[in-house]
Copies of this chain bind each other. A is one copy, B any other.
């Protein structure tokens, strides 16, 4: 069994409270997942992530494939062991980074030929290869290999991109089901397996989104009609790529009702604090975003009083905590003046403390949403 999605409560407006049982951890949803690109949520030690209440984090397949390499990670027992993260992990397909980071891309039906942004070496990612890499990494949840349609995109471009993504989704699923027994932690978790999510694309075209969702939901392991051979969950990708926010919302609203209620729904790459709260209340179970971590390294703090650019001169002697309403280990101990000083002085502790606060803020939002979605007892 891959995942067990235990729905605990639903609200009339679509919000849902669930427990997502994964091999390495039961994750309380709706959940925000910090991004650990190259096997580290930048600047934050794993024990701090645990104490912040992170139950699942992301790894990026593209980065880990290039360095240190998925075969090395497999030999070391998988990503959980390699990075010493015993809780749940999700890996993306590598598709998004191939399109945003790699050089000299050549897309064909087969897959994407690209050059590494690290050393210029040449690589081919196909749906099958992405599955092999993700199985070697051994995350609890893997993602189908897709093409993230850029914004804006002409309809013909969005259609062609969707055609590719749908073909790749089927190939991902077939290859994943045929090889998922190769996951490195198989012997440690008898009867448990990785899960695979399909990704809804279609640019900003409602009918393409609809088509994408419907086809994914119908998709099954090729040549099999057995129950449970389809995707274990569904993601909505290709959002937060520069479009206005009402368009993001429109696409999510269009797709959510088409996805099966008994499987988790994941919106990829969102968002600002008010966005993640809004989407969670609409019935999105999982979200991830580099925003809280990346913004932190640039001195942007999310607080109950709004955004704070901690570099500002006005904080030079401000002895208040970054967010007076926050109980995180940073807000309990350090002042705005000190955080500002650390940035000004280029101290590495700056990234660590800022990131811890921002993650605490994001995880706190989701905790409050979960509390409000809990069944009334």
Contact = CB atoms under 8 A, between A and B. Distances in A.
Contacts of A75: 317
Interface in A1-51: 38-40, 42-47
Contacts of A42: 347-349
B38 A319 contact: no
B344 A40 contact: no
Contact of A72 (B68, B84, B317, B348): B317
A348 B351 CA distance: 8
Contacts of A348: 42-43, 348, 351-352
**Size band of the A side of the interface?**
35 or more
Contact of A83 (B44, B68, B81, B338): B338
A333 B75 CA distance: 18
Nearest to A42: B348
A352 B68 contact: no
Q: Which one of A38, A345, A351 has the greatest number of beta carbons of chain B within 10 Å?
A: A345
Contact of A82 (B46, B76, B333, B337): B337
A2 B349 CA distance: 31
How many copies of this chain does one complex carry?
A: 2
Contact of A337 (B68, B333, B335, B352): B68
Interface string A337-373: 1100110110111011100000000000000000000
B84 A345 contact: no
A104 interface: no
A316 B45 contact: no
Contact of A347 (B40, B47, B329, B345): B40
Contact of A335 (B43, B84, B333, B335): B84
A40 B341 CA distance: 10
A334 interface: yes
Contacts of A123: none
A76 B347 CA distance: 20
A33 to B, nearest CB: 18
Given A42-B349, A76-B317, A348-B351, A334 B84 contact: yes
A46 B333 contact: yes
Nearest to A347: B40
A331 to B, nearest CB: 11
Contacts of A335: 76, 82, 84
Contacts of A337: 68, 72, 76, 82
Contacts of A351: 348
A67 interface: yes
Contacts of A349: 40, 42-45
A73 to B, nearest CB: 9
B82 A43 contact: no
A41 B264 CA distance: 43
A72 B316 contact: yes
Contact of A38 (B67, B82, B347): B347
A68 B344 contact: yes
Interface string A313-336: 000110100000000010001110
Contact of A345 (B44, B67, B316): B67
Given A68-B341, A76-B317, 11 more contacts: A39-B341, A40-B345, A40-B349, A42-B349, A67-B341, A67-B345, A76-B319, A81-B319, A83-B338, A84-B334, A84-B335
Please provide the 7 A-B residue pairs with the shortest distance between their CB atoms, ordered closest to farther: A43-B348, A38-B345, A40-B349, A40-B347, A84-B333, A68-B341, A348-B351
